[in-house]
Structure formats: structure tokens, C-alpha cells
Amino acid sequence: MRIELGEWLDITQVQLIKDELASQIASGEVCEVDAAKLSRVDSAGLQLLLSMVIACKEWQWRNVPDCLYAAAQHAGMTSLLKLNT
């Protein structure tokens, strides 16, 4: 399954995105996530991404922006989000 993230992944967007993604992601599915448009992410967004990483059998990133790396590093989540592979 291919998932394209929007421009924002913060607390104002997480609930809407969570409900949409939950219906798309079947447990154990291979997920490819394109984050090219992402320009803002907060801790709620990181938590949503982590839940997606856990739900998917395999996780592949495409076009990871600096803002996502920085937020994940600040939260100590780069390994958990599989950003260092």
C-alpha cells in the first residue's frame, strides 16, 4: 500500500488522518510512505507514524524531509520510525 502524507502532520490533523489510514492499513501489510509534501510534524504526528510502523509488516520511506528527521531525532524516535535505515 502506498501512503502519501500531506503538508501537515500535527495534532490538528492527526485524528482525521488516523481514521482514514486505519481503514486503509490491514495489519501485516507492506506500506510505502511518501513524505515529500510534509513540512510540519509534531509529537502527535510522530505517534501516529509509530502506530503505522507497528501495524505494517514492512515499512518503506520515500522522500523524507528534514523536518521529519529533526522531529524524530528530537524525540529519540529515529530507530522506532525506521528512519535510520
Could you tell me if residue 81 is inside a domain? Answer: no
Q: State the total domains in the chain.
A: 1
Give tens-digit pLDDT for 22-77.
Answer: 777 766 678 899 999 999 999 999 999 999 998 888 889 999 999 999 999 999 99
Domain that holds residue 24: 2-75
Q: What is the pTM of this model?
A: 0.88
pLDDT of 5 reads 93
| 67 belongs to a structural domain | yes
Secondary structure E strands in the chain: 2-4, 8-9, 30-34, 40-41, 58-62
Q: Does residue 7 lie within any of the structural domains?
A: yes
Query: Would residue 69 count as lying in a domain?
Result: yes
Q: What is the CATH number of the domain that holds 60?
A: 3.30.750.24
The verdict on residue 84 lying in a domain is no
